[in-house]
Amino acid sequence: MNQITIKDLALKLGLSTSTISRALNDHPDINIQTKKLVNDLATKLEYEPNFMARNLQSKNSHQIGIIVPEIKHDFFSKAISGIEEVAYKNGFTVVVSQSNEDVEREKLNANSLYLNRIAGIIVSLSQTTKNVDHFKTLLSKGVKIVMFDRVAEGIDTYKVVVDDYQASYDAVKYLIGKGFKSIIHLAGPQTLLNCKNRYLGYKAAIEDSNIEFKEELVFYGGMHEDDGKMDIENLINNKIHFDAIFAVNDPVAIGASVVLKKNGLRVPEDVAIIGFSNNPITEYVSPSITTIDQPAYEMGKMSASILIALIRGEEMPTTSKNTKLEAKLILRESA
Amino acid sequence: MNQITIKDLALKLGLSTSTISRALNDHPDINIQTKKLVNDLATKLEYEPNFMARNLQSKNSHQIGIIVPEIKHDFFSKAISGIEEVAYKNGFTVVVSQSNEDVEREKLNANSLYLNRIAGIIVSLSQTTKNVDHFKTLLSKGVKIVMFDRVAEGIDTYKVVVDDYQASYDAVKYLIGKGFKSIIHLAGPQTLLNCKNRYLGYKAAIEDSNIEFKEELVFYGGMHEDDGKMDIENLINNKIHFDAIFAVNDPVAIGASVVLKKNGLRVPEDVAIIGFSNNPITEYVSPSITTIDQPAYEMGKMSASILIALIRGEEMPTTSKNTKLEAKLILRESA
DNA sequence: GTGAAAGCGCTAACAT
DNA sequence: ATGTTAGCGCTTTCAC
């Protein structure tokens, strides 16, 4: 573990550490021959710069912190891959942490990243995050933050989302066009802006048609499979009539589908279903689930590009603080 | 971004930085009143220690690096959660990176972790990793390494696996007991020890029964869905007879299942299938896939415990360098 | 073109 | 119980 340092190189070459440092960093002042000398010895001795020392000196770490609810969700793991892609290309490494849908864990993660003097944070909020004061604090301390997908209102930072409103609007319009009349919405936490927009898109689509909007047909819950199951079980037990479901995301849609089948209801003949995110599993379940594709990988890349520009104080890749990427309806068997 | 440092505290309190440092770290020598004084001011001023400086000084980072093929696989994301769990409890943070099944990327990731003076590395090898010289190099530089699931032979480090041999043996014995006679094996890269053991378990189960073992019934390929598809397509095109499949993992099993269905073959009546890993998707596909459950979360926790003990030079939680956890057959519709 | 010296924030041996 | 000093490995002014 005995690391070669620039001091070692300096000693062997009879030069000063500053010359070594400059040579290694290709500083214009240094004689080209000296540079060669230094670099040759460095490779020969397998010199590896100590990033910790360099970071301490330069006061920033070239590490990007990511906080997502759960990496096991296909959407998030794809987004992370996108972030990694851009990060590596720009000489940044990536630290991933999960909030497990728990605000408290989210706070801990955020703070721990900060203590490690992370260069910036890319975050997608947990379900239980009601307010984002912990991120506002970091922001005020100068930490660069980009939010994606699960973003919050009322925090002044860059955000990368999909046009949740429009995509939801289109999906529900599609259901209406197919003749469905009692379309319920299994909604997510309205503190999350994307969930709110999905709800608003649903509402607008209904109101723009000749159907009466009923708030009683909106059921607010979580974003897991169990939430979808519970909602539909309740509806069936209470004999509430509906012929289509617009779910806030795919797990909820799948949970709903499972319960419907168990109760002898046919999908889509008796009840149609549309989910959100295009999780690969939606293609495998039977019936396969109609859903909305979010460009997860692209969202990750975009978030990273923005964050890195922010860190470097460079020109931003986007004009607006709110980047909206396109999402599109993927037709399958369930609707 | 102007950080409060111990120097600031020292100045305000008229004490030396060393006293502040010791007070903050609860050093026994320090007067209890002084400690209170220091800690109170620290909280008041929102002092946050600079980990980079601390790490530079102590020459280690309290960061654990993870390298997995792809985080989107349920097995790996669960394992990562397990690692995180233990890491956080012990004051370590976690840096995740993906090799994308590419050795070259794996090498880059490993080296980048090393340059960042990571405290240790937990790795599950990529499919394309034929030799592990890059890890041997790190090992010789004193980096602590733990391998899990996709481990290699011929490298002297701690490993956490499932009893792949026994689990495979049991699965194939189960198929034989059900009366299947032409059981093929869709095998993974034999450079990965777990793949090799799954193959050996398959072979032993066959040989221990009254069935002739035929190497022609073993098909070596990758670990993705497409590999399973390709193999089965070829078999069908070449009219090779088989009545059961033991696949090296779930994606391969699912790929096989899809092609069988497409060709009008019934699962399990015409061909039975058993996968490996208990990916949640195996429960959702139709027919659901019989598979072997690996305790992913536990494996992650165990790997992290071992690595941290290794880093701290503490007593090891395991007696052997090879930890084997139990895997068990989960019966579903496909076999 | 190169060197000397200071400092990033923190810790720890060695005083006192 | 507290202070002084040095140093972790690197970069960067300021000299020459």
Please give the residue range of the domain that contains residue B36: 6-49
Q: What is the pLDDT of residue A2?
A: 64
Among residues B122, B120, B109, the alpha carbon closest in space to that of B61 is found at: B120
Mode of pairing for the β-strands spanning A328-330 and A291-293: antiparallel
Mean pLDDT, residues B233-247:
96
Are residues A179 and A117 located together in one domain of the fold?
no
Closest CA to B149 of B65, B206, B75: B75
Residues A142, B284: C-beta atoms closer than 8 Å: no
Strands (E), A188-243: 218-220
Q: In this structure, are B248 and B276 located in the same domain?
A: yes
pLDDT of residue A1: 47
End-to-end CA distance of chain B: 61
Indicate if B280 and B178 belong to the same structural domain.
yes
Q: Which two tokens mark A277?
A: 């995110």
Q: Is there a domain that residue B83 lies in?
A: yes
Residue with tokens 């039977």: A286
Asked if residue A320 and residue A269 are part of one domain, the reply reads: no
Q: Residue B30 pLDDT more than 60?
A: yes
Domain count for chain B, please give it. Answer: 3
Q: How close is the nearest chain B Cα to the Cα of A167, in Å? A: 25
A134-144 residue pLDDT tens: 999 999 888 89
Q: What is the CATH number of the domain that holds A147?
A: 3.40.50.2300
Is the shortest CB-to-strand distance from B34 to strand D under 7 Å? yes
List the single protein residue with the shortest CA to C1' distance from C7: A57
Question: For residue B127, what pLDDT band results from cuts at 50, 70 and 90?
Answer: very high
- For residue B301, CA distances in Å to A275, B65, B80, B255, B279 come to 34, 14, 8, 30, 19
Shared-domain flag, residues A105 and A171: no
Which among A79, A113, A78, A118 has a CA at the least distance from the CA of A97?
Answer: A113
Q: Tell which of B81, B93, B98, B108 to mutate to test the A interface (max A CBs under 10 Å).
A: B93
Which bases in strand D are touched by protein, i.e. have an atom under 7 Å from a CB?
Answer: 1-13
- Residue B220 parent element (H or E): strand B218-220
Strand order in the sheet with B272-274: B218-220, B183-187, B244-247, B272-274
Residue A98 lies in a domain: yes
Are B305 and B267 part of one and the same domain? no
Q: What is the pLDDT of residues A52-61, one digit of tens each?
A: 898 888 887 8
Same domain, B276 and B177: yes
Q: What percent of chain A is modeled with pLDDT above 70?
A: 99
Residue A90 has which token pair? 């720009």
**Summary mean pLDDT of chain B:** 93
pLDDT for residue B117: 78
B259-304 pLDDT, tens digit per residue, is 999 999 999 999 999 999 999 889 988 899 999 999 999 999 999 9
> Do B252 and B275 contact (CB within 8 A), yes or no?
yes
What are the strands, taking DSSP E only, across chain A?
Answer: 63-68, 93-98, 120-123, 144-148, 158-162, 183-187, 218-220, 244-247, 272-274, 291-293, 322-325, 328-330
Residue B115 is nearest to which of A51, A77, A116, comparing CB atoms?
A51
Q: Touching check for A95 and chain B: CB below 8 Å?
A: yes
Q: Which residue's CA is nearest to the C1' of nucleotide C11?
A: B57
Of the candidates B51, B80, B286, the beta carbon closest to that of A286 is on B286
User: Is residue A140 in a domain?
Assistant: yes
Q: Closest-CA residue in chain B for A77?
A: B72
Compute the average pLDDT of residues B240-253. 97
Are A268 and A180 contained in the same domain?
yes
CA distance A38 to A24: 7
**Model confidence band, residue B167 (pLDDT cutoffs 50, 70, 90):** very high
Residue A293 burial (10 A CB sphere; 0-12, 13-18, 19+): middle
- For residues B41 and B28, state if they share a domain: yes
Q: How many A/B residue pairs have CB atoms within 8 Å? A: 107
Residue A48 to residue B96, Cβ atoms within 8 A: no
pLDDT at B68: 96
- The stretch B43-58 carries a mean pLDDT of 88
Q: Does A55 touch chain B (CB under 8 A)?
A: yes
DSSP character at residue B97: E
Q: Is residue B276 part of a domain?
A: yes
B331, part of any domain: no
Q: For residues B73-100, give the mean pLDDT.
A: 90
The pairing of beta strand A120-123 with beta strand A93-98: unpaired
Q: What pLDDT, on the 0 to 100 scale, is given for residue B2?
A: 65
A19 touches strand C (CB under 7 A): yes
Which 3 state secondary structure label does DSSP give B96? strand
Cβ of A70 within 8 Å of Cβ of B77? The answer is yes
Residues 11-30/B with CB < 7 A to strand D? 14-19, 22, 29-30
User: Six-digit token pair at A62?
Assistant: 């070239």
Of chain B, the percentage scoring pLDDT greater than 90 comes to 76
Shortest CA gap A96–chain B (Å): 6
Q: Is residue A217 part of a domain?
A: yes
Could you give the CA distance from residue B174 to residue B209 in angstroms, rounded to a whole number?
A: 11
* Residue B109 and residue B212 share a domain: no
Closest Cα of chain B to A208: distance in Å?
36
CA of B15, C1' of D2: distance in angstroms:
8
How far is Cα of residue B192 from the mean position of the Cα atoms in its chain? Answer: 13
The gap between A38 CA and C2 C1' (Å) is: 14
The reply to whether B258 and B285 lie within a common domain is yes
Residue A111's pLDDT band, with cuts at 50, 70 and 90, is confident
Asked if A254 is an interface residue toward chain B (Cβ–Cβ < 8 A), one would say yes
Residues of A in contact with B117 (CB under 8 A): 50-52
